[in-house]
């Protein structure tokens, strides 16, 4: 993904954070301490 496409997909910080959270939730959230 180039920077122009990135800016189209994530016009602001909140949209970027929400995308990362959604991706993390799909993969499953695992506690690094207790697994």
Q: Coil, helix or strand for 33? A: coil
Per-residue pLDDT, 1: 79
Domain coverage including residue 18: 1-35
Q: Which residues touch 1 (CB under 8 Å, ≥6 apart)?
A: 9
pLDDT, tens only, 14-29: 999 999 999 988 988 7
pLDDT given at position 18: 95
* Number of structural domains the chain divides into: 1
Give me the pLDDT at residue 32, please.
82
With a cut of 80, say whether residue 35 has pLDDT above it: no
pLDDT (mean) for 5-20:
94
Look-up of token digits 């506690």: 31
Whole-model pTM: value is 0.62
% residues pLDDT > 70 (the chain): 97
């Amino acid at each position: 993904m180039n920077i122009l496409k990135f800016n189209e997909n994530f016009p602001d910080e909140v949209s970027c954070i929400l995308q990362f959270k959604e991706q993390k939730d799909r993969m499953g959230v695992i506690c690094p301490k207790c697994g």
